[in-house]
Chains A and B, each alone.
Chain A
Amino acid sequence: MLSLETKRLIIAIMSFFFLAALLIVGYVEAKRSIPGQKPKIVISDDNRKCIECHSQPGNATTLVEQWKDSYHARLGVGCLECHAAEKDDIDAFDHYTYTIATIVSPKDCSRCHKKQFEEFQRSHHAQGGKILGSLDNVLAEVVAGSVHMGNPVAVSGCKQCHGSVVNFLRNEDCTVKKDRNGIAMIDPETWPNTGIGRVNPDGSLGSCAACHNRHYFSVAQAREPDDCGKCHLGPDHPQYEIYRESKHGINFIAHKDKMNLDKRPWIVGKDYVAAPTCATCHMGATPNQESTHDVGMRISWTLRPAVSEKVDAKDLKEGKQTVPWEKRRENMQDVCYQCHSKQYVQSFYKQYDDVVILYNEKFGKPATAIMSKIKAGGLITTDVEFDEKIEWTYYYLWHHEGRRARMGASMMGPDYTQWHGMFEAGDRFYTEFVPEVREVIAEGRKHGQAAAASEVEKLLNEVLNSELHQWYAGKMSPEEKAARKKAQEEFKKRYVGN
């Protein structure tokens, strides 16, 4: 039994605890986001000066308004937290007593987002700017564009996705040119640019704004398939269209309101169950693994080149240490298992692997081998790309149709696997590539390159007489012929005969 003194003490302690609990209630209330009402934001005295000026009409006011709606603003991460620069930064300039830079690089973002920065820097995305030697670049800078006219195709096309090497205009003495306000002048051929693999003046790679658009920096927006669709679309890599065709995409559109896209963290199976987006499978958190900004960590095949390889093959050939493809596939399957059974997932991967292997064996490898032999024999020019029809045909075969088929299978897009993919690859191979190879052989013989032409002819015949192509020479096996005939008759009976 307690004395009066003890009771008074308990009353004092409990009053304190109760008040503390009420303070927590007040904190929860203050932090609570109310639908239809803008959340409270934090503006420091320094940032207030920026905002006052940039709220004047015509002075990029929308970026301030967007920022006010951002999560950054709620945390008090404002203009100077991102744009502040060191005096000796190449792009630094004095702006109303503050030293700032226009370009905010991933290195700047890493002050707060260290993990994301490190993951991104080692990712395939970060390497996106290194495309200068690719065939695609020849097409943009030589075939479709011209370096004599400022390289506009590559600048406004390729590099807006892949990223540019940010350069500065220079004076004759090589110093950086500045405008009358003392602001470093960035080469307009290299900036504005928010390409995923931009090479920044501070050496860091990429641009966080490629996915997290300025100045909302919205995590929800970056999780939208449309965000990835800025670059991953079109005839050569239609991942966005394939996703929209897939069950995943259909579910996303139908149930977008249940996706909790702005949830932190965003764990599939826990925070949302309606559908996966690109971010879910390639980057998203599961109950077993954290989210990652290294987008290659769940990919097992390379679907980009003429012949697909397991994703670790190149590194292994070069003797580099890498994460094995099996581990990457395991990572991806962990995402799949949040919604599908083990048998379902394993069977899907069998279907996917089968398409990739078929494409490789039927079109990718033979066409690549034939093209190599044609070039090795000097039957077409080797120093100029795309000056011969067969080079275009081969390019379409693997770069467009071949990729579409493989990517279609990888993301459950049946129409892209067949009609936009393997069907068109077949059409291209049999009706254009093979006749053009024969023309090259004939031309070679006409122009005294009989030996080289015969080598190519021999290889072509080997290809066309192989099991995968023998139907084309009318050499289908009797069993296969009988099976086809039977299937055709049944089809006719069902749809034509009656």
Chain B
Amino acid sequence: MSAIKSLQTWAKESFPLDLDVLKEMSSEPIPYHLKRWWFAVGGTPLYLFVIQAVTGIMLTFYYVPEPAEAYNSVARITNEVPFGWYLRSIHKWSANLMVAAVILHMLRVFFTSAYRKPREFNWMIGAGLLLTSCVFGFTGYSLIYEQISYWAAVVGTNIAEATPLIGGWLANFARGGPEVGANTLTRFFVFHIGVLPTVMVILLVLHVVQIRLHGVTRLRFDERGEPGVGLSISVSAPVTPMEFREGSAGAATKEEKSPTFPFYPDHFYTELIIGLVLTFLLTILTLVAPAHLGEPANPLVTPEHIKPEWYFYATFRWLKLTSFAIGVIGTMIFVLVFIFWPFIDRWLVRRYPAKEISFWVGVAGFAIYMIFTLWEAFV
């Protein structure tokens, strides 16, 4: 007993943590609407990022970032390293799911107007996380150094070259020279395993800190009694978090009477279920469609069809439809509008208070993205 006591004393001295503070931290009040699981998927990208970090570190044990060996090392990982095929497939699928999850999360935030004051900055951090995820995907895809991924890197850096003013510098910086080669691979590798994870972690911390500072956005729902209609989110007049924090007098439903619940255990369980579903889904995906390996890169032979990863399909289709310069400028404008949307939205609401312009801009933007993506996928 005395040994245990002295161990406890040592632990308290070594880690002077206030358990009450920890308890309070883990009891962050969560808005009632998060009891609906589909509002709880904001943590999904974080899960997937952690999975990618773990599998990525393991893959780095075997990956060789030089043109002569890159493809062979990926082949060794796929064919020879114990469970290498599984780790590589998990890494690939979690990357794809992460981009999809971020897009879905941003759609939810957009259509519930959760980016509005005071959360404009957090939307911008979120946009940064999506862009970082895309660059992650682009650099990771290129590291495989198979024919199709090599040429995707060539096309990608050529597109970067068309950026006004800084294009030449940007492309040269990314490639480490005028062509995709050994320097490019080294730079992409450094970005993929060093720079981007650091940026991602910083943005994630900022994102979560912002969520903790502002609290999770509370949403108001219209409870309609008609069968089959169910619950619908009030989009036209979203409640700002500040308003919500004050509570709603005269509320009739349980939800409105008790607008929050503690993070642990209820929400923790929800997140655990989502995590388990994700890991199960990832494992099934790796079994049904493991990451395959195409022909090795051949810089002398341009393949008939060059395809980037699916999340660049819409951009790729857009670039095919326009001239190169207009395509790149258009993409840049889209990205800037996307990042600064909360401020544009505020201006639109002030200018046209009675109209739901932001909602329809979102619908149109997403519809165009989907149409372009599917168009590119099936051509």
Contact = CB atoms under 8 A, between A and B. Distances in A.
A4 B80 CA distance: 44
B36 A17 contact: no
A35 interface: yes
Nearest to B274: A14
Contact of A14 (B35, B85, B270, B280): B280
A404 B110 CA distance: 79
Contact of A29 (B82, B270, B277): B82
A359 to B, nearest CB: 47
Given A7-B273, A11-B276, A18-B276, A25 B83 contact: yes
Given A1-B35, A34-B79, A36-B80, A25 B287 contact: yes
Contact of A11 (B83, B85, B266, B269): B269
Given A11-B272, A29-B82, A21 B280 contact: yes
B287 A21 contact: yes
Contacts of B79: 34-35
Nearest to A17: B280
A11 B83 CA distance: 26
B172 interface: no
B36 A14 contact: no
Contacts of B86: 25, 28-29
B182 to A, nearest CB: 27
Interface in B56-82: 79-80, 82
A4 B266 contact: yes
Contact of B279 (A7, A8, A18): A18
A208 B318 CA distance: 61
Interface residues of A, number: 22
A475 to B, nearest CB: 61
B278 to A, nearest CB: 10
B283 interface: yes
B284 interface: yes
Contacts of A8: 269
A183 B79 CA distance: 47
Contacts of B269: 4, 7-8, 11
Nearest to A12: B276
B276 A14 contact: yes
A4 to B, nearest CB: 6
A32 interface: yes
A18 B279 CA distance: 7
Contact of B284 (A21, A29, A32, A34): A21
A37 B84 CA distance: 15
Interface in A13-42: 14-15, 17-18, 21-22, 24-25, 28-29, 32, 34-37
A10 interface: yes
Contacts, number: 52
A15 B275 CA distance: 10
A4 B272 CA distance: 12
Nearest to B254: A1
B286 interface: yes
Interface in B71-109: 79-80, 82-83, 85-86
Nearest to A15: B276
Which bracket fits the contact residues of B?
20 to 34
B273 A32 contact: no
Nearest to B265: A4
B214 to A, nearest CB: 24
B82 A18 contact: no
Interface in A30-77: 32, 34-37
Interface string B286-308: 11000000000000000000000
Nearest to B36: A1
Nearest to B82: A29
Contact of A10 (B85, B273, B279, B283): B273
Contacts of A37: 80
Contacts of A11: 269, 272-273, 276
A29 B283 CA distance: 13
Contacts of A1: 35-36
Interface in B164-218: none
B295 to A, nearest CB: 12
A260 B279 CA distance: 34
B58 to A, nearest CB: 14
A8 B86 CA distance: 28
A387 B287 CA distance: 71
Contacts of A14: 273, 276-277, 280
Interface in A444-492: none
The listed residue with most B CB atoms (<10 A of its CB), out of A7, A34, A36, is: A7
Interface in B308-326: none
B85 A18 contact: no
Given A14-B277, A15-B276, A18-B276, A25 B286 contact: yes
B287 A28 contact: yes
Nearest to B272: A11
A14 B283 CA distance: 13
Given A1-B35, A4-B266, A25 B283 contact: yes
Nearest to B90: A25
A10 to B, nearest CB: 5
Given A7-B269, A18-B283, A32 B85 contact: yes
B36 to A, nearest CB: 7
A310 B307 CA distance: 53
B280 A34 contact: no
Contacts of B286: 25
Contacts of B272: 11
A22 B83 contact: no
A15 B86 CA distance: 19
A447 B86 CA distance: 90
Given A4-B269, A14-B273, A21-B287, A29 B280 contact: no
Contacts of B36: 1
Given A11-B273, A15-B276, A29-B86, A21 B283 contact: yes
A32 B85 CA distance: 10
Nearest to A8: B269
A24 B89 CA distance: 15
A449 B83 CA distance: 88
Nearest to A37: B80
B275 to A, nearest CB: 9
Contacts of B280: 14, 17-18, 21
Nearest to B277: A14
Nearest to B283: A21
A10 B85 CA distance: 29
Interface string A185-202: 000000000000000000
A-B complex: 10 closest residue pairs judged by Cβ atoms: A14-B276, A21-B283, A7-B269, A1-B35, A18-B280, A34-B80, A17-B280, A10-B273, A25-B86, A29-B83
17 contacts: A4-B265, A4-B266, A4-B269, A7-B269, A7-B273, A10-B273, A11-B272, A14-B276, A15-B276, A17-B280, A21-B283, A24-B283, A25-B283, A25-B286, A25-B287, A32-B85, A34-B79
Interface of A: 1-2, 4, 7-8, 10-11, 14-15, 17-18, 21-22, 24-25, 28-29, 32, 34-37
Given A11-B269, A29-B86, A32-B85, 7 more contacts: A8-B269, A11-B272, A18-B283, A21-B284, A21-B287, A24-B283, A29-B85
